[in-house]
Amino acid sequence: MPTHFGDFQPLCSETPSYPWCNLFYRQLQRASNSTLLPPSVPSVSAPVGINPECGILRTGHDGSIGNVANIAVCGASVFFVAFLVWACNRRKAAVGRIELLLFLSLYLLTLPLQLLTTGSILEQGSLPLVVLTAIHAGSVAALFWSLLANALVATQVVEDGTMSSMVPFSIFALAVFGGTTYISMDVALGITQTIGGLSNPPERLGSIALFVLTSIWPGVTALLYLLIMSYIVLKVLNETRPMWFYLLAAALFVLSQLDWFLLSKVICKGSNQKVDGSFIATLLETASVGVLYLAWKSITEESWDDDAYYPS
């Protein structure tokens, strides 16, 4: 079957623990003629994915303890990011502190959601898993808006931490979160036929809107963030040291995605379905967020020329 833009079928079968597949599992349960939900793996024990080539069975079935490695990394990352939130909040006079706090807080929110949506803890097709996955998708989309907003604030088009900054920041964040969450729920539950209608055929697992918001949008915003911050660091501040932090953060993010999509299945098969590459991806993503904090800290040091950061 040919793959079209917006189809999740290759991702859901070849990428273990890909969270958005939880939405399509529920969608396929609405299509009683679907052949992608084999009776040999009932929903009560099914792994994350749609008939995946390799997947970790749900906790408590056939001795499975779920995606324990990613659960552990998500848990440890919560404490690390909470520390970053605390450290960021202490720098009261730093430029962009409030906006970065919101970015870190949103990332902190995604970690327990990822633990639940990829940990093989909840039953596939269940309403709680669908709702949590939809909120997870909305949080990720809002997270990347907040990343881009941090770059826009860094240009000092509007003064950071003021109403002129926080009002549009919050409105767009809520709009992106609400829109993505609704679309995700619609894909799973079929609230409307415009978005939630079944793919034709159902096995395509197609949703252009969900694909754009969960795959294209994060990549585009991350690239725009890097370009804007490169301009600020190299042209406005005329510095090179912070640029290495931004490049390292970008490299860690790219490596996390490569691990998720290319190595996760290899690790899953090599471990006899005990772990997959999601824990490495989470570790690299968290490391990327930590390096972004260091980059921000380095361009707000008191020893730097503050005037350079407020171009007239």
Give the pLDDT of the chain (312 residues) as one tens digit per residue. 667 889 999 999 999 999 999 999 998 888 765 666 766 677 788 899 998 999 999 988 777 889 999 999 999 999 999 999 999 999 887 888 899 999 999 999 999 999 999 999 999 999 999 999 999 999 999 999 999 999 999 888 878 778 888 899 999 999 999 999 999 999 999 887 767 666 777 788 989 999 999 999 999 999 999 999 999 999 998 988 999 999 999 999 999 999 999 999 999 999 999 999 999 999 999 999 999 999 999 988 643 444 444 443
Is residue 128 in some structural domain? yes
- Which burial class, exposed, middle or buried, applies to 297 when counting CB atoms under 10 A from its CB (0-12, 13-18, 19+)? middle
Domain-located, residue 48: yes
| DSSP 8-state assignment for residue 58 | P
Q: Coil, strand or helix: which one is 7? A: strand
Q: What is the pLDDT of residue 200?
A: 72
Residues 140, 110: Cα–Cα separation, whole Å:
7
Q: Please check whether residue 308 lies inside any domain of the structure.
A: no
What is the distance between the alpha carbons of residues 182 and 177, in angstroms, rounded to a whole number? 8
- Residue 71 has, within 13 A of its CA and on its CB side, a CA count of 15
Tell whether 88 is covered by a domain. yes
Question: Tokens 């490391």 appear where?
Answer: 287
Q: What is the pLDDT of residue 124?
A: 93
pTM tops 0.85: yes
Angstrom distance (rounded) from CA 115 to CA 254 = 21
Which phi and psi (to 5°) does residue 7 adopt?
A: -80, 135
Which residue in this structure is represented by tokens 């915003």?
221
Q: Is residue 73 part of a domain?
A: yes
| Cβ–Cβ < 8 Å for 291, 245 | yes
Closest CA to 16 of 53, 41, 43: 53
Q: What's 181's domain CATH number?
A: 1.20.1070.10
Secondary structure letter of residue 206 according to DSSP: B
Is the separation of the CB atoms in 66 and 274 below 8 Å?
Answer: no
Rounded distance between C-alpha atoms, residue 45 and residue 307, angstroms = 60
Q: What is the largest CA-CA distance in the chain?
A: 67
Q: How many domains does the chain have?
A: 1
Give the range of the structural domain holding residue 142, as residue numbers without chain letter: 9-301
Residues 6 or more apart whose CB falls under 8 angstroms from that of 308 comprise 236, 237, 238
Tell me whether residue 2 is in a domain: no
**In this predicted structure, what is the pLDDT of residue 312?**
35
Assigned domain for 310 exists: no
How far from chain centre, in Å, is Cα 238? 32
pLDDT at 310: 42
